[in-house]
Amino acid sequence: EAQVTQNPRYLITVTGKKLTVTCSQNMNHEYMSWYRQDPGLGLRQIYYSMNVEVTDKGDVPEGYKVSRKEKRNFPLILESPSPNQTSLYFCASSLSVWGGYTFGSGTRLTVV
């Protein structure tokens, strides 16, 4: 089944403890992105990648890192999480340069 898989689905962590949210797609898509969704603010793009080793900042990259060492994987790294990073995170991928993205099921992160 063609899909984008994120893990974990839920995560509660403490301020400052490094964490990684994994994202993997099995559709051979070149384009991948991370978003966070907050009430009243909608979906905001954190980072995106156009291919292996090619990444760029979205609208809210502060406090996040990404890497794209393989085509299928695009992990999101929070080196020192803070409570304002409590959010619902989505990974998405697209084959088309025009942007018809497939989204993962989301990761709900709480930083206390």
- Chain contacts with another protein (rule: CB under 8 A): 31-33, 35, 40-45, 48-50, 56, 58-59, 90, 94, 96-106
Q: Which is nearer to another protein, 45 or 67 (CB)?
A: 45
Q: What is the DSSP string of 4-46?
A: EEEE-SEEEE-TT--EEEEEEESS--SEEEEEEEETTTEEEEE
Q: Give least dist CB 17 to another protein, A.
A: 25
Q: Give least dist CB 34 to another protein, A.
A: 11
